[in-house]
Amino acid sequence: MSEKRDTQSGLVVSAHSADFVWRAGGAIALHVQQGYQMHIVCLSYGERGESAKLWRKGNVTEAAVKETRQQEAQHAAELLGATIEFFDLGDYPLRADEKILLRLADVYRRVQPHFVLTHPMQDPYNYDHPLAFNLAMEARIIAQAEGYRPGEKVLEAPPVYCFEPHQPEQCNWKPDVLLNISEVWERKYAAIQCMRGQEHLWEYYTRVALQRGVQAKRNIGITSHKAISHAEGFQSIYPRVTEKLA
Amino acid sequence: MSEKRDTQSGLVVSAHSADFVWRAGGAIALHVQQGYQMHIVCLSYGERGESAKLWRKGNVTEAAVKETRQQEAQHAAELLGATIEFFDLGDYPLRADEKILLRLADVYRRVQPHFVLTHPMQDPYNYDHPLAFNLAMEARIIAQAEGYRPGEKVLEAPPVYCFEPHQPEQCNWKPDVLLNISEVWERKYAAIQCMRGQEHLWEYYTRVALQRGVQAKRNIGITSHKAISHAEGFQSIYPRVTEKLA
Amino acid sequence: MSEKRDTQSGLVVSAHSADFVWRAGGAIALHVQQGYQMHIVCLSYGERGESAKLWRKGNVTEAAVKETRQQEAQHAAELLGATIEFFDLGDYPLRADEKILLRLADVYRRVQPHFVLTHPMQDPYNYDHPLAFNLAMEARIIAQAEGYRPGEKVLEAPPVYCFEPHQPEQCNWKPDVLLNISEVWERKYAAIQCMRGQEHLWEYYTRVALQRGVQAKRNIGITSHKAISHAEGFQSIYPRVTEKLA
Amino acid sequence: MSEKRDTQSGLVVSAHSADFVWRAGGAIALHVQQGYQMHIVCLSYGERGESAKLWRKGNVTEAAVKETRQQEAQHAAELLGATIEFFDLGDYPLRADEKILLRLADVYRRVQPHFVLTHPMQDPYNYDHPLAFNLAMEARIIAQAEGYRPGEKVLEAPPVYCFEPHQPEQCNWKPDVLLNISEVWERKYAAIQCMRGQEHLWEYYTRVALQRGVQAKRNIGITSHKAISHAEGFQSIYPRVTEKLA
Amino acid sequence: MSEKRDTQSGLVVSAHSADFVWRAGGAIALHVQQGYQMHIVCLSYGERGESAKLWRKGNVTEAAVKETRQQEAQHAAELLGATIEFFDLGDYPLRADEKILLRLADVYRRVQPHFVLTHPMQDPYNYDHPLAFNLAMEARIIAQAEGYRPGEKVLEAPPVYCFEPHQPEQCNWKPDVLLNISEVWERKYAAIQCMRGQEHLWEYYTRVALQRGVQAKRNIGITSHKAISHAEGFQSIYPRVTEKLA
Amino acid sequence: MSEKRDTQSGLVVSAHSADFVWRAGGAIALHVQQGYQMHIVCLSYGERGESAKLWRKGNVTEAAVKETRQQEAQHAAELLGATIEFFDLGDYPLRADEKILLRLADVYRRVQPHFVLTHPMQDPYNYDHPLAFNLAMEARIIAQAEGYRPGEKVLEAPPVYCFEPHQPEQCNWKPDVLLNISEVWERKYAAIQCMRGQEHLWEYYTRVALQRGVQAKRNIGITSHKAISHAEGFQSIYPRVTEKLA
């Protein structure tokens, strides 16, 4: 890992090792293309809860599932152009104590991200996702504190965006940002195809990208005239500071 | 009125003739400085409900109050660099029938705004403000319809921002945009001083600008390093379409 | 009608002629007992929508239903110690134009209420109730305006309380005030019994009063040690201004 | 129109003449297949706001657009097996006075629906849709009133379901019912293809049906083992009364 | 414990040993009558926080309070026809670590419930209730994971219903299901009477059942013509999948 | 510490050692003036997260920062007339186990507060604040339980008020109480000036007090005619029980 601090960077906190692909693969690839250093933290491999197909083959150990999942995620990250690290905390349930919290705060300090992507705060289908949200949020705040590892460069206030959950309305998730990922869609779809254990989701998330693309076209003002075919939705946690409203 | 359609423009829909000053004076001046053509529609003069000081002088007619209010608003608009027109619909209560709705739709068609500023959708202290919001929203949608005055250039989908009400939490208003108006604060304060009938609000809205300025500083990421002393808050109605998250 | 302006007073805006009994009969009787002049405005008699029992008898005219309803309401108001007036606007649907709005604003000016009771702002079972809420709210605001009938004594800012709807959770109604009506319960129940056309509601609203009474006991701090058996719930629209938190 | 009152029936209130197809075509076809008499009321033809393709051809009158739209809707209703009537109120803006409200109440009385489908209550992209919702809701309540056209059979309390808007999260729409329309999908898609003026929506609503289908599979308990490929989502307004929780 | 997996079953997760009686006794008895195997998990006896009457007698140990509470709950479960088990985790505060979470997941695997009943997610009067909700929710999700105890039959997706809290509006609880428990009311009331330590609640929850019964009658469509005197309210967490809207 | 139990008292639970000054200094001074015994619990010194200025001086240890912060808080409490104790739990992150929870419950038992002040339940800028809220809430409930330390005088049901966070709208905080602190403003400002490490906040919270003062004047009914210049806002958690609505 060799993030340079003078380039722009982004941080993705993913509960399981495939979440960053379905939910933020376009944002990652797009910002890499714009010169950002994108870094992904996978809190777990999703070995218990999101590897059904692997388990159903039978005669498989947890270690083997984790290894497969790590390879898939590593490969996907490479295709997207991002660095990736694995905390291997276990899933279903995912748990994080204070030590893990500070470990993530240290990642923030090191990466100094210009923006952060993570899960939304509610998900009645998944308890690991809100935990990842809270961990990402609290670690960010600690990394901003002058009194945490005094002397280190503190984190400024990067915006946090919650990416799209599997059943958005049930999570009370409401996108206020639609990111045009049309230019990098092929790269995202290539990364999606790394996830061999969840093939049933490939077309689901292709359709998500197409629907968000149509919606993006409906919300465009006069300023932007780029063609849009695919998009990703995000919900902001903080107000954005700007000098331009159009 | 001679808005050119090839320059960038913004539209402000103000229930009473002073609202645009307190709530959006900074946004207006800032975008004028950036080359935008800003246009203001005042639905009423606020003659009944927002001219207490004028009435308390006694021996005054409604016509006189309206004239005073018009002059103040005209003067403020000039200082901000905007054009202004008055619908003179009366206030307390403000009412608008279908004819007025279409008149405003026609303003949208003429101005072709790149963004729109108006009141928030709730205000338990004021029924004219939500009416202005609904009128601005519905007129915008009609101006987008191919079948309304077919042949005219239809409106695209400009973002709509709700500016700050007098008691923000009571209106369930939550800013997701903080606009840095530090550079144009002096101009906004000059416009505020045109409102001689509501002098008690001058310092109130100065403090609002300072508080939002402090909050803006707290929400700034690494990208922006401009000094911020004053800000205005806005709540977006629609998701924004973008290609950059930082 | 002979309200004296120097005594304390309260105003109740009731969509149909029985609403004030079920929902605010205790508050009315209690404040009358405390020396308040309580005045009730019934916007309609509820002749179409809340007089099922009368219609089912057959061979009855709308005029007769209205007369019966007026007598019941008049009698109930007398038992509670309040004055009452009827706007007779019709129900199902209830509608109010600007003239009616100003007529109600004039009642506010005349009564100068220290507090206001009306319906909540949502009710998926009843469209007349939210209309009454909005009418009561907007009229109150107009009565506060210096420019409405200039020279008259303007209304100050009386708190508005929304009384309990028939299916409280479905209306998103959440009481933040529990009024101890134990001392006047007998009087409220006598008023309830005037409503001969809706006998099926007598026991329903008795149970409501008992449930709110139990809840009130659960929310009492150390300061108050009065016995509580019956209560009425209310939801405030505005923050209350106070100098004491216990 | 020849609804028999002794069969089960359903009523659909559609703001524009194509809404019922995109949003409820599956529910209509499915209940027709189950023996329900389904009846559709189109409040307008959507001639101004939802016929862009027709207008863009040029040289077309509003009368011609309306006729085309009526034919498309009539054809779609036939394919779905439903009866249809047109109120022709105009769109953008849609407006309905008390006479229209009572006309719709009379439809309720005639059809005596066992359930009702209409638009959700919020839509920042469309003011005609919430108006249709409110009209459908208030007319239903009036049709329940003993005092409205006394002597007629009153309406009982049919459940109301809000169908899916174009941008669901932006409308704060949250489905609590997922209807398995797999068996009638072909019929719905045939009806969709009648809408020649909005061909860009065909694939959009095909994807919506597939996404809701995947979500339905995720929410199925043990009881139901039918295959699900396509679904429609609905949001209930009222609690359902039942004797079984699984 | 001898639940057969081929019969239909339901699971109730109760924070304290009496909650299942007040809040879900009717649902339990009704489904037992319909042939369901109902199983109750009591996380604690409510020995500290919900046994005031027992403590006020004085000269009593915590062990004695727990024994009394267990006997009452056991007796109530028998009257309702359900099996019951006690986790004995302690109350005020109730706490559950990962081991407890997995223990409950194992109950899900064993019972394979067709539906789940538990507390709502918010309660400002009680911190044990939301904890029980979260435990029941997360354990259900773990029991669905292929990688948890691979080889075991995984749980499908049973609906979860939150039963009624003591002060429903204060918990933001909004029932979307009203269960007609009229036929089993006598059995529920017999179970209620087992709770000798909380006699003050007997009449409170009788009135709750009567109020929900009246509300159920107000929400019934044409399809159902059963008499309703008593009901229980529930709030669904997940959308229901169905093929019928009436 | 020598709180007498027969006087009226209030309890303030403050996450960091300065929170009680900015957010509740007026309420504390005002109730002290009214004869209340006010007691403050500081869960941490805010040494890491809220002492930036001290750290920036360099060459400083955490122990030294804590000592400075303790002195400042002690001094401020004295000026306000309150007693204070420090739990010294550490901040960023603040964590509290069951032992701490019971320690706080014991403070409740000892102080027997008539009202409680603490942080709001949400704050995306601060995870210690919601933790303090939850700790204060759960400890209060335990102190009410007969079975916790049986034989001790249990706590009644004191109201809980959430004081104003730094960015109120972002915390979904909505004040329903505006406390007139005009008489004690000088004392609050003196306490504010003790906070030498956060001088940038002095004017910020002065403006907050002025804004809330203006808002209080806007919400005053006829009953109260005191002059108001400064106020503090609070959000109630529980409904208040009363016998008077004006």
pTM (predicted TM-score): 0.96
Q: Report CB contact under 8 Å: E207, C207.
A: yes
Q: Report CB contact under 8 Å: B48, C147.
A: yes
Nearest to F175 by CA among F72, F24, F36: F24
* SS3 state at A57: coil
Strand partners, A11: A39, A116
Confidence of residue E194 (pLDDT cuts 50, 70, 90): very high
F137, B135 Cβ separation under 8 angstroms: no
- Tell me, letter by letter, the H, E, C secondary structure of chain B: CCCCCCCCEEEEEECCCCHHHHHHHHHHHHHHHCCCEEEEEECCCCCCCCCHHHHHCCCCCHHHHHHHHHHHHHHHHHHHCCEEEECCCCCCCCCCCHHHHHHHHHHHHHHCCCEEEECCCCCCCCCHHHHHHHHHHHHHHHHCCCCCCCCCCCCCCCCEEEECCCCHHHHCCCCCEEEECHHHHHHHHHHHCCCHHHHHHHHHHHHHHHHHHHHHHHCCCCCCCCCCCCEEEEEECCCEEECCCC
Cα–Cα distance measured from residue E94 to residue D219, given in angstroms and rounded to the nearest whole number? 30
> What is the four-CA torsion angle of B119, B122, B125, B130, rounded to 10 degrees?
50
For residue F227, what pLDDT is reported? 85
The mean pLDDT of A179-198, rounded to a whole number, is 96
Task: State the average pLDDT for chain A.
Answer: 95
* Nearest beta carbon to residue E142 from set A56, A92, A95: A92
Confidence of residue B224 (pLDDT cuts 50, 70, 90): low
CB atoms under 10 Å from CB of D102, counted, come to: 17
Instruction: With beta carbons under 8 A apart, name residues in chain E contacting F144.
Output: 49
The alpha carbon of F86 is separated from its chain's Cα centroid by a whole number of angstroms, namely 13
Better-scored residue on pLDDT, D148 or A7: D148
Each residue's pLDDT tens digit, E136-170: 999 999 999 999 999 999 999 999 999 999 999 99
Bridge-based pairing state of the strands E231-236 and E177-180: antiparallel
Nearest to E32 by CA among E77, E73, E72: E77
* Least confident range of A146-155, B156-165, C131-140, E5-14: E5-14
- DSSP state letter for C40: E
For residue F102, report the phi and psi dihedrals to the nearest 5 degrees: -70, -30
For residue F6, what pLDDT is reported? 65
For chains C and E, CB pairs below 8 A equal 38
Instruction: With beta carbons under 8 A apart, name residues in chain C contacting B52.
Output: 145-147
Q: Report CB contact under 8 Å: B62, C239.
A: no
In which element (H, E) is residue A190 found?
Answer: helix A185-192
CATH of domain F9-236: 3.40.50.10320
Instruction: With beta carbons under 8 A apart, name residues in chain C contacting B124.
Output: 137, 237-238
Amino acid letter, residue F197: G
The mean pLDDT of B162-170, rounded to a whole number, is 98
- DSSP state letter for C10: E
Each residue's pLDDT tens digit, F198-241: 888 999 999 999 999 999 999 987 655 568 999 999 999 999 99
Instruction: With beta carbons under 8 A apart, name residues in chain F contacting E52.
Output: 145-147
* SS3 state at E112: coil
Q: Give the residue numbers in A contacting E (CB under 8 Å), as ranges.
A: 47-49, 51-52, 55-56, 60, 62, 65, 92-93, 95, 124-127, 170
For residue C2, what pLDDT is reported? 40
Cα–Cα distance measured from residue B157 to residue B155, given in angstroms and rounded to the nearest whole number? 7
CB atoms under 10 Å from CB of F207, counted, come to: 18
- Shortest distance between the Cα of C46 and any Cα of chain D, in A, equals 9
Q: Report CB contact under 8 Å: D93, B142.
A: yes
- Shortest distance between the Cα of A138 and any Cα of chain F, in A, equals 6
- Could you tell me the strand order of the sheet in which E231-236 lies? D240-242, E177-180, E231-236, E160-163, E115-118, E9-14, E37-42, E83-86
* Nearest beta carbon to residue D147 from set C55, C124, C126: C55
Cα–Cα distance measured from residue C201 to residue B6, given in angstroms and rounded to the nearest whole number? 66
The most distant pair of C-alpha atoms in chain B lies apart, rounded to whole Å, by: 59
B213, B179 Cβ separation under 8 angstroms: no
A237, A116 Cβ separation under 8 angstroms: no
Cα–Cα distance measured from residue B104 to residue A181, given in angstroms and rounded to the nearest whole number? 35
Task: Record the tokens describing residue E93, joined without a space.
Answer: 């505060």
The mean pLDDT of B185-212, rounded to a whole number, is 95
CB atoms under 10 Å from CB of E106, counted, come to: 16
For chains C and F, CB pairs below 8 A equal 137
Chains touching D (at least 3 CB pairs under 8 A) are: A, B, C, E
Each residue's pLDDT tens digit, D23-72: 999 999 999 999 999 999 999 999 999 999 899 888 899 999 999 999 99
Confidence of residue E1 (pLDDT cuts 50, 70, 90): very low
- Shortest distance between the Cα of E237 and any Cα of chain D, in A, equals 9
Chains touching C (at least 3 CB pairs under 8 A) are: B, D, E, F
Q: Where are the domains of chain E?
A: 9-236
* SS3 state at C86: strand
A172 backbone φψ class: left, alpha, beta (φ>0; ψ -120 to 50) = left
Q: CA angle at residue D246 from D243 to E6, to 5 degrees? A: 120
Confidence of residue D116 (pLDDT cuts 50, 70, 90): very high
Task: State the average pLDDT for chain D.
Answer: 95
In which element (H, E) is residue A102 found?
Answer: helix A98-111
The DSSP code sequence of chain F is ----TTS-EEEEEESSTTHHHHHHHHHHHHHHHTT-EEEEEES---TTTS-HHHHHT-S--HHHHHHHHHHHHHHHHHHHT-EEEE----SSS----HHHHHHHHHHHHHH--SEEEE--S--TT-SHHHHHHHHHHHHHHHHT-TTSSTTSPPP----EEEE--SSGGGGT---SEEEE-GGGHHHHHHHHTT-GGGGGGHHHHHHHHHHHHHHHHHT--SS-----S-EEEEEESSPEEES---
Each residue's pLDDT tens digit, D189-237: 999 999 987 888 999 999 999 999 999 999 987 655 568 999 999 999 9
D11, D117 Cβ separation under 8 angstroms: yes
C39, C5 Cβ separation under 8 angstroms: no
- Tell me, letter by letter, the H, E, C secondary structure of chain D: CCCCCCCCEEEEEECCCCHHHHHHHHHHHHHHHCCCEEEEEECCCCCCCCCHHHHHCCCCCHHHHHHHHHHHHHHHHHHHCCEEEECCCCCCCCCCCHHHHHHHHHHHHHHCCCEEEECCCCCCCCCHHHHHHHHHHHHHHHHCCCCCCCCCCCCCCCCEEEECCCCHHHHCCCCCEEEECHHHHHHHHHHHCCCHHHHHHHHHHHHHHHHHHHHHHHCCCCCCCCCCCCEEEEEECCCEEECCCC
In which element (H, E) is residue A85 found?
Answer: strand A83-86
Instruction: With beta carbons under 8 A apart, name residues in chain F contacting A148.
Output: 48-49, 92
For residue A35, report the phi and psi dihedrals to the nearest 5 degrees: 100, 5
Residue of D nearest to B239 (CA): D170
* SS3 state at A239: coil
Check whether B124 has a pLDDT greater than 70.
yes
For residue B225, what pLDDT is reported? 59
Cα–Cα distance measured from residue B94 to residue B132, given in angstroms and rounded to the nearest whole number? 8
Which of C127, C131, C134, C171 to probe by mutation at the D interface, max D CB count within 10 Å? C127
* Least confident range of A89-103, B85-99, F47-61, F132-146: F47-61
For chains E and F, CB pairs below 8 A equal 45
For residue E4, what pLDDT is reported? 44
Which of F53, F56, F61, F92 to probe by mutation at the A interface, max A CB count within 10 Å? F92
> What is the four-CA torsion angle of F147, F149, F150, F155, rounded to 10 degrees?
-80
Q: Report CB contact under 8 Å: D243, E228.
A: no
Residue of C nearest to D134 (CA): C127
- Shortest distance between the Cα of B242 and any Cα of chain C, in A, equals 36
CA distances to C78, C242, F178 from F225, in Å: 32, 11, 15
The mean pLDDT of A205-217, rounded to a whole number, is 97
- Shortest distance between the Cα of B236 and any Cα of chain F, in A, equals 14
Residue of B nearest to F212 (CA): B167
Check whether A26 has a pLDDT greater than 80.
yes
Task: Record the tokens describing residue B148, joined without a space.
Answer: 């309304």
Check whether A1 has a pLDDT greater than 50.
no
C148, C142 Cβ separation under 8 angstroms: yes
Each residue's pLDDT tens digit, A10-20: 999 999 999 99
Instruction: With beta carbons under 8 A apart, name residues in chain F contacting E92.
Output: 141-142, 145, 147-148
Confidence of residue A224 (pLDDT cuts 50, 70, 90): low
For residue E3, what pLDDT is reported? 41
Check whether F117 has a pLDDT greater than 70.
yes
Sequential pLDDT tens for chain C (246 residues) = 344 446 899 999 999 999 999 999 999 999 999 999 999 999 999 999 999 989 988 889 999 999 999 999 999 999 999 999 999 999 999 999 999 999 999 999 999 999 999 999 999 999 999 999 999 999 999 999 999 999 999 999 999 999 999 999 999 999 999 999 999 999 999 999 999 878 889 999 999 999 999 999 999 876 555 689 999 999 999 999 999 999
Nearest to B146 by CA among D128, D195, D52, D196: D52
* Nearest beta carbon to residue F146 from set E56, E95, E170: E56
